[in-house]
Amino acid sequence: MATVNIADLKNNLSARLERVRAGEELLVKDRNRPIAKIVPLASGEDLEAEEMELAAMGLARLPTSNLPASFWRSPAPRVSLKDAVAAVVSERGESR
């Protein structure tokens, strides 16, 4: 994993992102303190534009790996529609 400081990243952004496209991870530091990691998307990831936008806004995280096959064999949680709607409304801070 390569390490870059903020000034270097700003001055050489295109070159640094080209390295990420090639599969390299970049650790970004501010005054020698790690503050971020830039990683390439997993190969073969088919992300919709909306998913990318949500991730860019910090409202969602992109997957780092595929779910194990056992996940799909697990029983679904039993939550009533009323409780599910209440949870979503509560999370959004809305009233109904």
Give dist(CA 31, CA 27) in Å, integer: 13
What are the average pLDDT values for consecutive 10-residue runs of the chain, which has 96 residues? 95 95 93 93 67 85 86 90 92 72
The reply to whether the predicted model has a pTM over 0.95 is: no
What separation in angstroms does the CA of 29 have from each of 12, 13, 16, 46? 15, 14, 14, 30
Q: Is the Cβ–Cβ distance between 27 and 2 less than 8 Å?
A: yes
Going along the chain from its start, the domains and CATH numbers come out as 2-92 (3.40.1620.10)
Give dist(CA 31, CA 41) in Å, integer: 27
